[in-house]
């Protein structure tokens, strides 16, 4: 009798303890997430050491978080990069290598980063560009979005798209505005009339409306993607005397394998003059400053609404951007300028606020990082690594290389994907091979040659380094098969 009563008491006590434990978990406050993306923004920012570009608000965010000095995209093109980040899977897994194929065609049941937050009980919404949109053509539409990733989605369109595109100075008229050396200084419109100003306004409205419950709000800005159209005041921040192009010569092309410079054709600068290229570089800087001002509006709203103590803020760009390095413009290369991206993560009351991490990280790491910070159950097959150890200690031991890839050649069919360029970055080296080495190899010593001007791949003194770098590529591309050639089905359709 006494023994039975003791057992019952123990069982009741355990039940109360377990219920209290569950209640404690339920009552634990959840971090909100403000997820801010820029389109085609490189690391020409004040907080990254640029002495010309005006970026006071992104710099301000860097003082609230950890700035990752060496963060890399997995593919130097919008849709493949964004699909990789938002699924937590590398391009060889998503099979996204272009701007048409949607990852759900091959991975219909994949749980995306925002879906994980929906499953976790969050309000989840998108404003602007998060998955791929033809920019500027798809502004105001859902583009190549993923409907099930959001509870709500908003697609603002401003005067830069609806009223001004016919007035743009396009130095490459045969190229569409989304891939053109083209700009316009808007003398009459203000921030709130432009698309990215409207993105910020809508995102702020959502912050105000959903401030009292856990949220994941994604604000995707369309600039500094071309055409570079901004209010005139942002152009006025820069004088042409400040704008200098990297040095190149007629011999530059002979220094690299042909595929390395194939992203800019005609080379250099898509055939525009150096002075015209300088005008475009000034316009690109103006577009960065315009986006920076909208980021500032978001930060001000977070502070005004009392959200700073429970909101994680993440800032990232989908890939880097060339502004004349090696004679290149835009993206789609495997050089440092195209592969490297800005990433800042600010966690409330973090002890490391304002610190910089020089560890190599990847955009594919953001998904597991946010799952870790929010205490959510992430899919088991994510291919990135949580950066929480680096948020706690930015100089913590870290030995993970960064991988970037791109495609060359191919035709209009999904079955004609051409050949790949695969690149791996370690602390000291960047190694790139084209068509698995058949169309060229590159090796750069980042310690002595950060601008990647001297290709060491064919130097016998570095044969062991090349061998080691090849083995790193083998780890991430074990089958060494041209991406997607045998797996894509042109009959598959994705309905958004």
Q: Are strands 329-330 and 32-38 parallel, antiparallel or unpaired?
A: unpaired
> What is the pLDDT at residue 265?
96
Place of tokens 């499953």: 119
Residue that the structure tokens 């820069």 belong to: 238
Distance CA 373, CA 332 (A): 32
Q: Is the pLDDT of residue 15 over 90?
A: no
Tokens read off for 463 = 């044969």
Tell if the pTM clears 0.85, that is, is over it: yes
Handedness of CA 117, 118, 122, 127 (dihedral sign): positive
| 422 HSE (CA, 13 A, CB side) | 24
Cα gap 25→41, rounded to integer Å: 39
Confidence (pLDDT) at 21 = 41
DSSP β-ladder status, 311-317 and 32-38: parallel
How confident is the model over 51-71, as pLDDT tens digits? 999 999 999 999 999 999 999
Which pLDDT does position 123 carry in this prediction?
A: 98
C-beta separation of 33 from 312 below 8 A: yes
Residue 292 has pLDDT above 50, yes or no: yes
Report pLDDT digits (tens) over 72-114.
Answer: 999 999 999 999 999 999 999 999 999 999 999 999 999 999 9
Task: State residue 479's pLDDT score.
Answer: 60
What's the whole-number mean pLDDT along residues 327-349?
Answer: 98
Q: Which residue has the higher pLDDT, 16 or 216?
A: 216
Q: Average of pLDDT values for 340-354?
A: 98
Q: Where does the pLDDT of residue 490 fall: very low under 50, low under 70, confident under 90, or very high at 90 and above?
A: very low
Residue 3 reports pLDDT greater than 70: no
Tokens of 242: 């400040």
| Contacts of 94 by beta carbon, 8 Å cutoff, 6+ apart | 80, 83, 84, 87, 103, 106, 107
CA distance 326 to 335: 9
Region 15-31: what's the mean pLDDT? 50
User: Is residue 378 within 8 Å of residue 369, measured between CB atoms?
Assistant: no
Report pLDDT for 127: 98
Instruction: List, for residues 181-209, the tens digit of each pLDDT value.
Output: 999 999 999 999 999 999 999 999 999 99
pLDDT score, position 466: 98
Which tokens belong to 24? 């404690």
pLDDT tens, 113-135?
999 999 999 999 999 999 999 99
pLDDT for the residue numbered 476? 87
| Contact by Cβ (8 Å): 39, 196 | no
419-425/429-434 β-pairing:
antiparallel
Q: Can you list the domains of the chain with their CATH numbers? A: 28-402 (3.40.720.10), 406-476 (3.30.1120)
pLDDT band at 496 (very low <50, low <70, confident <90, very high): low
Task: Calculate mean pLDDT across residues 221-249.
Answer: 98
Is the pLDDT at 421 greater than 60? The verdict is yes
The residues annotated as belonging to the active site are 78, 132
Q: Phi-psi category of 89—alpha, beta or left, where left has phi over 0 and alpha has psi -120 to 50?
A: beta
Instruction: Identify the burial level of 251 via C-beta atoms within 10 angstroms of its C-beta, where 0-12 means exposed, 13-18 middle and 19 or more buried.
Output: exposed
Output DSSP code: residue 132.
B
Cα dihedral 388/391/396/399 (nearest 10):
50
Is the pLDDT higher at 30 or at 374? 374
- Round the CA-based radius of gyration of the chain to a whole number and report it: 24
Mean pLDDT over each residue of the chain, to the nearest integer? 92
Dihedral angle computed from the Cα positions of residues 412, 78, 281 and 169, in that order, rounded to the nearest 10 degrees: 50
Determine the average pLDDT of the residues in 451-480.
92
Tabulate helix, strand, coil % of the chain (nearest 5). 40, 20, 45
Per cent of the chain over pLDDT 90 is 87
What pLDDT score does 409 carry? 85
Closest by CA position to 222, among listed 136, 292, 282 = 136
Say if residue 37's pLDDT is above 80.
yes
- Which of 213-227, 365-379, 404-418 is the least confident region? 404-418
Concatenating the DSSP letter of every residue in 247-258 gives P--TTGGGGS-G
Alpha helices in 305-357, H assignment, sequence order: 336-339
- Does residue 433 sit in helix, strand or coil? strand
Percent of the chain residues past pLDDT 70, beyond the cut: 89
For residue 87, what is the enclosing H or E element?
Answer: helix 78-87
Q: Alpha carbon of 413 to those of 100, 364, 416, 484, 490: distances in Å?
A: 10, 27, 5, 12, 7
List of residues 6+ apart from 247 with CB closer than 8 A: none
Contact yes or no for 344/363 (Cβ under 8 A): no
Q: Is the pLDDT of residue 211 over 80?
A: yes
């Amino acid at each position: 009798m006494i023994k039975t009563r003791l057992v019952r008491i123990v069982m009741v006590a355990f039940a109360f303890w377990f219920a209290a434990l569950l209640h404690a978990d339920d009552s634990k406050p959840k971090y909100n997430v403000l997820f801010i993306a820029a389109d085609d923004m490189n690391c020409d920012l004040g907080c990254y050491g640029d002495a010309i570009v005006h970026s006071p608000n992104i710099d301000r965010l860097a003082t609230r978080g950890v700035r990752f000095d060496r963060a890399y995209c997995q593919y130097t093109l919008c849709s493949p990069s964004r699909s990789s980040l938002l699924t937590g899977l590398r391009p060889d897994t998503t099979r996204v290598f272009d701007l048409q194929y949607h990852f759900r065609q091959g991975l219909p049941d994949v749980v995306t980063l925002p879906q994980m937050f929906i499953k976790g009980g969050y309000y989840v919404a998108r404003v602007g560009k998060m998955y791929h949109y033809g920019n500027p053509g798809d502004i105001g539409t859902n583009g190549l979005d993923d409907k099930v990733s959001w509870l709500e989605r908003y697609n603002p369109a401003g005067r830069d798209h609806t009223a001004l595109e016919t007035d743009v100075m396009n130095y490459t008229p045969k190229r569409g505005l989304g891939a053109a050396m083209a700009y316009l200084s808007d003398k009459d419109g203000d921030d709130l009339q432009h698309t990215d100003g409207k993105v910020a306004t809508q995102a702020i409205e959502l912050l105000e409306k959903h401030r009292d419950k856990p949220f994941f709000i994604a604000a995707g800005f369309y600039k500094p993607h071309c055409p570079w159209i901004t209010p005139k005041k942002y152009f006025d921040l820069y004088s042409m005397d400040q704008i200098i192009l990297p040095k190149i010569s007629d011999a530059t092309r002979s220094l690299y394998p042909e595929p390395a410079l194939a992203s800019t054709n005609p080379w250099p600068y898509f055939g525009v003059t150096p002075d015209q290229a300088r005008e475009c570089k000034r316009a690109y800087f103006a577009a960065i400053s315009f986006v920076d001002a909208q980021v500032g509006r978001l930060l001000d709203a977070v502070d005004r609404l009392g959200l700073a103590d429970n909101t994680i803020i993440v800032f990232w760009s989908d890939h880097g951007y060339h502004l004349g390095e090696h004679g290149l413009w835009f993206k789609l290369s495997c050089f440092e300028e195209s592969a490297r991206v800005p990433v800042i993560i600010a966690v409330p009351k973090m002890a490391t606020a304002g610190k910089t991490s020089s560890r190599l990280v990847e955009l594919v790491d953001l998904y597991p990082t946010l799952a870790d910070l929010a205490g959510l159950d992430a899919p088991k097959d994510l291919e990135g690594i949580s950066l929480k150890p680096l948020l706690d200690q930015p100089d913590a031991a870290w030995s993970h290389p960064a991988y970037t890839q791109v495609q060359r050649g191919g035709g209009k069919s999904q079955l004609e994907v051409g050949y790949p360029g695969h690149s791996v970055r370690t602390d000291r080296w960047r190694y790139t091979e084209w068509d698995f080495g058949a169309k060229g190899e590159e090796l750069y010593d980042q310690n002595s040659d950060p601008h990647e001007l001297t290709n060491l791949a064919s130097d016998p003194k570095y044969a062991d380094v090349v061998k080691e770098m090849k083995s790193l590529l083998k780890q991430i591309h074990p089958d060494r098969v041209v991406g997607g050639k045998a797996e894509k089905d042109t009959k598959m359709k994705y309905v958004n």
